[in-house]
Structure 1
């Protein structure tokens, strides 16, 4: 167990799978008390049990966090159980469809707005009164697509662009309250979203996103969680309003650069976290 978040209380939304599972487990290993939050169908109880078996402290919360009342209940649970809230990780989101805009479904777009934007709004609004007391911080999930814009992902990238601007606005207004707000912007990560068997990408897109990185591979959920850890910790005390890409060089790549990457770069690190839900994917459109 580390101590970079010793004594801190954190909520991790979307904490039951993918990058969220890695964040929850990384934070717990570093001493945080974690509320692992997710939709009713997310395996948050499994992640909590696994954290506890490793000696960490965590509790589950299952609800639709785009509903403000549910977001407020999540924050209230953290304060009731642990006495305060220091960190909000707005990781929850969805990736329901890839399509040209002419074929993109309105249902998928509405689902994106609900899960990628309204959840961030509701959780941030609910958490800020407690974060102001502790001089805490918010780290929100952005994306390389929110910076670049990507074909067949225009609506998804737009929701992430909202998160970038929203978080910068929060950083500007909350500095006077002592609250830092930052963005982590992942590129292609080895989760269910970037595999054709478990997400909306076809085989061509799956290959393109990997070859479009300078490192010639997907990142791991733990590699992304490491950046969340830095930004949430006191080590980032002079960082607010920032967008941190974690994309293997996608933003500066020119063409299929990954084909030419050194073999050592193409190898994913083993990591130390036991992640069982990194390929779990709740990306289908739900009514």
Structure 2
């Protein structure tokens, strides 16, 4: 434990699986007290137990944070347990469907608006009074799809573009309070979302997703968490309003460059985190977090 976040208190939304699990465990290893946030069906309790078993500090918080009262209660729980709030990681998000727009399920679109946009708005709004006290920061989940757009997941890319633009405006607005705001833009990461067996992609989409990566492979959740750690730490004290892409070069690529990468360079790094829930992401409409927007 190198202690880059020693004595910091962080909320990680969607912290029980996929990239969120890696962020929770990475931040805990760096000395932060972590509030792992998720839905009832997420492995939040398991992740908290795994952090505690490694000597870290963590509590779980279960609830639908797209609701104002739940988001406010989440922030209150963090402050009551640990005395303050230094960092908000808006990682929670959903990826429930793939289809051309004229066939895209309306309930899946509403589900994304609620869980990809409302959750970021509500948690940021609720956290700001505490972050202003500590001169803290917010790091939110954008996406390469929010930068470039992506066929078959056009509505998803739109929700991530909102997060990235929202973060830029918030960074300027909150600078006078000493609060930094940034985004991380993952590309294809080795989670439930990018495998046809565990997410909504079909075989062709999965193949094309990886082939379009110049580095020739998916990224790992830990590789993404490393960038979240930098942005949340004092090492990034002069960084605000930025989006750091962790995408293997997808956003600068114009071809299937990944097909040219030799097999020995396509091996994922082993990493050091004990990740048990990488393939448990939110890839379908769950009743506990669904609601009509009409």
After TM superposition, the score normalised by the length of structure 1 is 0.99
Structure 1 residue runs of 5 or longer lacking an equivalent are: none
Pairwise CA distance, 1:264: 4.1
Aligned to 1:52: 52
Aligned to 1:101: 101
Aligned to 2:171: 171
User: 1-side partners of 2:133 and 2:262: how far apart?
Assistant: 48
User: 2-side partners of 1:44 and 1:170: how far apart?
Assistant: 29
Residue-by-residue CA offset, 1:183-227 (whole Å, 9 max, x unaligned):
000000000000001000000000111010001100000000000
SS in 2 for 1:78: helix
1:27-38 equivalence runs, <5 A: 27-38=27-38
Verify the 8 A CA contact 2:93 2:282 in the aligned structure 1. Answer: no
Pairwise CA distance, 1:254: 2.2
Residue-by-residue CA offset, 1:87-116 (whole Å, 9 max, x unaligned):
000000000001000000110100000000
User: 1-side partners of 2:159 and 2:243: how far apart?
Assistant: 15
User: 2-side partners of 1:92 and 1:101: how far apart?
Assistant: 24
User: 2-side partners of 1:252 and 1:121: how far apart?
Assistant: 29
Verify the 8 A CA contact 2:192 2:281 in the aligned structure 1. Answer: yes
Structure 2 residue runs of 5 or longer lacking an equivalent are: none
User: 2-side partners of 1:220 and 1:31: how far apart?
Assistant: 22
Aligned to 1:226: 226
After TM superposition, the score normalised by the length of structure 2 is 0.97
- Higher mean C-alpha displacement, 255-264 vs 103-112: 255-264
User: 2-side partners of 1:121 and 1:254: how far apart?
Assistant: 33
Please say if 1:253 is aligned against 2:248.
no
User: 2-side partners of 1:233 and 1:195: how far apart?
Assistant: 32
User: 2-side partners of 1:211 and 1:278: how far apart?
Assistant: 21
Aligned to 1:77: 77
1:76-225 equivalence runs, <5 A: 76-225=76-225
User: 2-side partners of 1:234 and 1:265: how far apart?
Assistant: 32
Give the aligned CA root-mean-square deviation in angstroms: 0.7
User: 1-side partners of 2:2 and 2:55: how far apart?
Assistant: 12
Pairwise CA distance, 1:285: 1.3
User: How many residues are paired up?
Assistant: 287
SS in 2 for 1:245: strand
User: 2-side partners of 1:7 and 1:63: how far apart?
Assistant: 26
